Structure 1
Amino acid sequence: MIRFCSEASLRLAVVLIVGCSSQPAKDISSYGASVGIVNHTGKFIHSASVNGGAGGHMEAWGAGAANVCCVSVPRVWSPGMKLLVRWDMPEGSVHVYKQALVEVEKYDETGSVYIHVLPDDVVRVVVSNYDGWSSKHPIPPPKKPNKQLPPSP
């Protein structure tokens, strides 16, 4: 009987240790986020999308609100999370389609997805509750360069 009790106690201890050491369930839920575009270039963006969803346009050096719906985004950020970004920057009347698989920058709370198109086809993606022109947005808004006046004679 003593052997049975000690064997049962050992099994119970193993179950408790294994049960207490397991990882909490990871939140894999997602939500529908609106998409905004921030253009850090001197070229017009005719359209842009994330993972095939949403679309919009943005003037040169423009920053907009996230007012186009929607793309599915995980509620909890995880390292290596990427989204496929496609955009069209026409050259005259010819459409020039581009795309990039972009790692989403770390976010701590849900929000809208913002596509930042920078010179040389560099793209950054952030999740934020602040519009692209806001001083609280994770990436500063674009600034149109000052035109240099020719020197006076």
Structure 2
Amino acid sequence: MPYPAFPCAAIALALLLIAGCATAPAPAQASGTIEAINHTHWAINRFSVDGRNAVDIIGPYQGGGGACCFAVPEQWRPGMTVRVDWETGASGVSNLAKEFPGYADWPRYVEWSRKVNAQKRQHSQVVPVPDYGGQETCGITVHFLPCDQLKVTTSCLTYGHPNYPIKEALRLPEPTSCPK
């Protein structure tokens, strides 16, 4: 028995469309992890770069992240940026964290939780990506600085290496007021 023409034509069209999509050239990219260095006294509860989530909570004056993967375009272009979204809050070593009442006294826990949540702040910033032409790239590292400032790098070197492009000390002093 012959096959109906419509289903065969639909399948053939779908295969052509898939084949066309599969052969479309993609821009060359190097892929790596999303890392962070926190130069502040606040915890970074979560962060993402261009919508890609990192995996760690990063305590004050620590590094972390480790999420895969962030694709760095093969060629840097003037005006390149990334969007970083993050949440700050009290660190795990803060007095508030030490006051954790446990779950047995539910009213005390609810009050404590309200205080913790009151310290959380949501942030978002578009950050320029520095020129990485002629250098090997290894994902992206976000540096969280006082006054909700950020710097990013695609360098494969580790923070603290003499040739690492971001030179700020890990423990930066917190200013009494931040520029607007």
Q: TM-score, normalised by structure 1?
A: 0.67
Query: 1:112 and 2:136 equivalent?
Result: no
The residue aligned with 2:70 is 71
Offset at 1:141?
5.5
Partner of residue 129 from structure 1, selected from 143, 150, 156? 156
The residue aligned with 1:51 is 50
What do the CA deviations read for 1:101-148 (whole angstroms, capped 9, x no partner)?
1110111322230001111111111111122343432113633369xx
Gapped runs of 5+ residues in structure 1? Answer: 1-26, 147-153
Q: 1:34 to 1:89 in 2, by over 3 A?
A: same
* Secondary structure of 1:111's aligned partner: strand
Query: 1:36 and 2:59 equivalent?
Result: no
CA distance in 2, matches of 1:61, 1:140: 14
Aligned length: 119
The residue aligned with 1:7 is none
Moved over 6 A (4+): none
Query: 1:93 and 2:116 equivalent?
Result: yes
Indicate the structure with greater helix content.
2
Tell me the amino acid that sits aligned with residue 59 of structure 1. Answer: G
Identical columns (%): 26
CA distance in 1, matches of 2:72, 2:170: 29
Tell me the amino acid that sits aligned with residue 98 of structure 1. Answer: H
Note if contact 2:69-2:139 (Cα within 8 Å) is conserved in structure 1: no
Task: Give the root-mean-square deviation of aligned CA atoms.
Answer: 2.3
Q: TM-score, normalised by structure 2?
A: 0.58
Query: 1:84 and 2:109 equivalent?
Result: no
CA distance in 2, matches of 1:141, 1:57: 21
